[in-house]
Amino acid sequence: MSKDKVTQRLEAALEPSKRLTAEAVAFSRKYGLEPFLTRVPRIVCADGFSMSVQASDGHYCQPRDSKGPWYQVEVGFPSEKVDALMPFIEGDENQDPTSTVYGYVPIETVVQVIIDHGGFTP
């Protein structure tokens, strides 16, 4: 899977308009808040590796809003240690790398991790 295709698929998964529910919009309007987005489904790669990738005003991402587009995202709970993510780990290097989040991870790093694991599952 090419870098461009992986990037497009990741950006599509993060797309705010696909992550809004009618209930969230109504609640947000009622209280003058920015609508909250539903969770992005866990990313599963062709080799079985998986991780959570999230972006919204409640996540470690940039911009830190619920509109995007995001150039840094929050990665969480990878199924195995990924060296490329370690500089972004919350906590220290003694932390279990599969039981924590990684903040402000550049989109390019996430794309490369997905490519390194064979791309998205078909």
Residues 91-108: tens digit of each pLDDT: 887 889 999 999 999 999
CA-CA distance, 54 to 120, in Å (whole number)?
16
Residues 50-86: tens digit of each pLDDT: 999 999 989 999 999 989 999 999 999 999 999 999 9
Which residue is it, tokens 């039981």?
99
Question: How much is the pLDDT for 64?
Answer: 94
List Cα–Cα distances, 59 to 28, 64, 80, 105, in angstroms: 18, 7, 21, 11
